[in-house]
Chain A
Amino acid sequence: MAPKVKEQNIAVFGESGSGKTVLLSSFYGATQEPSFLSSNLYQVLADDTSQGLRLHANYLKMSKAAQVPPTNRFDAVPYSFTIRPKDGDGAAAAPSSSFGALRLVWHDYPGQWFEQDPSSDEVSRRRVETFTKLLKSDVALVLVDGQKLLDYAGEEEKYFRMMLGGLRVGLEKLKDDILADGKPLEEFPRIWILALSKADLHPELDVQGFKDLLVEKAAGDIVMLQQTLKGFVQAPEALSLGEDFMLLSSAKFEPGKIEVTERVGLDLILPVATMLPLERVAQWAEKVDMPLRMLGGLVDHANEFAVVLTGAAGTLLTKVLSKVPKVGPVLAPLAVPALAELIKSGGAKLEEIHAQALANRDYLTATLTQFRLDLDRGVKDRLLVKSPW
């Protein structure tokens, strides 16, 4: 029987030319390298073979022919990937898990959809449909185009205002269509990460420098965007923008050459999409006075992930959790604090669980703990800034 799959959605927002399709192609293409499987505990499979081939072809054309992927013109495409822990060789399932694999859905769409009104009614309808789906993701990446940042050197505030303002105005324009019944959404990206794409063009900037530049030059624009986002979501106090930052570079671009092996931050995308929402739920549960059920599907994710993550630890709490028959809101008051405790306990505890999971050949737990450890590594390597506990 195929393992039950837990789905996470990621929304990548970026202007036309900011590198969305290149990022997606490079992300997937790298996971298809023979060396990937031998150095990772999981494999990434495209759920639609033809989509996988298309992305892989994009990647190979970049690598072999220095050819960038074609742009999306009039269509948005959700790309769905299953992240399956290694199996065979006596691999064991996580003892208490209710799922055995992850699915990442990544929506790619024409960047100009925020910048201009469509030329056709059907494109207009697709645009609303796409963003309605997109805005049900857990995490949103907002791409700051590294090339534009160079073009506006010395007056970056102009670019930030245009870019963040464009996103804000675009969302405002779509608001009535997306909130069809006028009610704020329960499922909405609650974590908005500001990500520098084409970071290879800024070798002098680490993620802290990027954050400082944005805060110095665009704090007001970030606040305005935050106000707009709050108008879309229930329990808007559980929403973060301007707290998380990352660096991304899909490849090193040189005249006549695209070096796809020189990537930055792409191996943080899966950890960010899967683990950051859980970490944030645990934080919000402690900081914000509201019922956990207000966080919608995020709580379900937290429940099930917490069972897997704490499952190998063999604690009393794990035993209690594993005896709770129903996964869902009933479990949340137990699972979320357990998750919070695990995260607060720091890397040593996670390393221990990770090592134990590896010893047990429980590759699901090993993969998820690795993702969580990867977030810490991203912070240490100055590729990721995440909100402090």
Chain B
Amino acid sequence: MVDLIWATRGRSWGFRFLLFGGYSDPLSAYERAFAGIEDDVEVSRRAEERVALRFLDPLNRVDAAGRIIPHDFVVWGPLADDIHSVEDGIQKVWPLVVDVYARVWMNEKAPVAKEIQSAIDTA
């Protein structure tokens, strides 16, 4: 289990949580982490031992309206210790999800979070 909340969208499917970070509902933890920086295009901010991290898709993949897809994460635990910038986040966090995202982003229907978690746990 990785200490990670991940919210993103696909080309056709809209924003949703793909990793819950062990929460039954990660929304309030996500909103606490991004409070006040909701509109930032890219961000890395540490608060209360957690890092709110957002970066644009490193492969410039876009949604159906042509907007580059952002990836939002809340990171804590040992993984968070090494993240001090957006670039750090891309280096440390993106490799964890890059393969599974490549498999699902073009799907017509949104992926199931449990399957995403399972794919990452077994990778």
The residue in chain A whose Cβ has the minimal distance to the Cβ of B12 is A115
A154 within 8 A of partner (CB) = no
**B39 lies within 8 A of A110 (CB):** no
B13 within 8 A of partner (CB) = yes
Q: Taking the nearest CB of chain A, how far is it from the CB of B108, in angstroms?
A: 10
B47 within 8 A of partner (CB) = no
One of B14-22, B74-82, B86-94, B95-103 at the interface = B14-22
**A119 lies within 8 A of B110 (CB):** yes
Question: Count of B residues near A, CB < 8 Å?
Answer: 27
B64 within 8 A of partner (CB) = yes
**B25 lies within 8 A of A121 (CB):** yes
A57–B41 Cα distance when bound, in Å, is 13
Q: Taking the nearest CB of chain A, how far is it from the CB of B118, in angstroms?
A: 16
A179–B72 Cα distance when bound, in Å, is 35
**A68 lies within 8 A of B30 (CB):** no
Q: Taking the nearest CB of chain A, how far is it from the CB of B113, in angstroms?
A: 6
- Which residues of the other chain, A, contact B109 by a CB distance below 8 angstroms? 116
A116–B112 Cα distance when bound, in Å, is 12
Interface residues of B in 24-39 (CB under 8 A from A): 24-28, 30-31, 38-39
B57 within 8 A of partner (CB) = no
A54–B28 Cα distance when bound, in Å, is 22
Known: A16-B14, A73-B7, A111-B14. A120 touches B25 (CB 8 A): yes
A236–B10 Cα distance when bound, in Å, is 38
**B63 lies within 8 A of A17 (CB):** yes
**A112 lies within 8 A of B31 (CB):** no
B59 within 8 A of partner (CB) = no
A100 within 8 A of partner (CB) = no
B84 within 8 A of partner (CB) = no
Interface centre among A57, A111, A122, A147 (most CB of B within 10 A): A122
- Which residues of the other chain, B, contact A116 by a CB distance below 8 angstroms? 13-14, 16, 109-110
Q: Taking the nearest CB of chain B, how far is it from the CB of A18, in angstroms?
A: 8
**B7 lies within 8 A of A17 (CB):** no
Interface centre among B14, B16, B25 (most CB of A within 10 A): B14
B14's partner among A54, A57, A68, A112 (CB-CB below 8 A) is A112
**B67 lies within 8 A of A68 (CB):** yes
**A110 lies within 8 A of B14 (CB):** yes
Q: Taking the nearest CB of chain B, how far is it from the CB of A331, in angstroms?
A: 45
- Which residues of the other chain, A, contact B18 by a CB distance below 8 angstroms? 119
The residue in chain A whose Cβ has the minimal distance to the Cβ of B113 is A119
B17's partner among A68, A71, A119 (CB-CB below 8 A) is A119
A118's partner among B9, B16, B63, B66 (CB-CB below 8 A) is B16
Q: Taking the nearest CB of chain B, how far is it from the CB of A373, in angstroms?
A: 35
A106 within 8 A of partner (CB) = no
A110–B15 Cα distance when bound, in Å, is 8
- The digit string for A65-88, where 1 denotes a CB below 8 A from any CB of B, is 001111101110000000000000
Interface residues of A in 102-133 (CB under 8 A from B): 110-113, 115-116, 118-123
The residue in chain B whose Cβ has the minimal distance to the Cβ of A58 is B39
**B63 lies within 8 A of A74 (CB):** no
B65 within 8 A of partner (CB) = yes
B31's partner among A69, A70, A74 (CB-CB below 8 A) is A74
**A70 lies within 8 A of B41 (CB):** yes
The residue in chain B whose Cβ has the minimal distance to the Cβ of A74 is B27
- Which residues of the other chain, A, contact B39 by a CB distance below 8 angstroms? 54, 57, 69-70
A73's partner among B67, B72, B110 (CB-CB below 8 A) is B72
Known: A74-B7, A145-B65. 16 other contacts (CB 8 A): A16-B14, A16-B63, A16-B64, A16-B65, A17-B63, A70-B38, A70-B39, A73-B15, A75-B31, A110-B15, A115-B14, A116-B14, A119-B17, A120-B26, A121-B24, A147-B66
* Interfacial residues, chain A to chain B (CB-CB below 8 A): 16-18, 54, 57, 67-71, 73-75, 110-113, 115-116, 118-123, 145, 147
CB<8 Å pairs between A and B, sample of 20: A17-B65, A17-B66, A18-B65, A57-B39, A71-B15, A74-B7, A74-B27, A75-B31, A110-B14, A112-B9, A112-B13, A112-B15, A115-B13, A115-B14, A116-B16, A116-B110, A119-B17, A121-B24, A122-B27, A123-B27
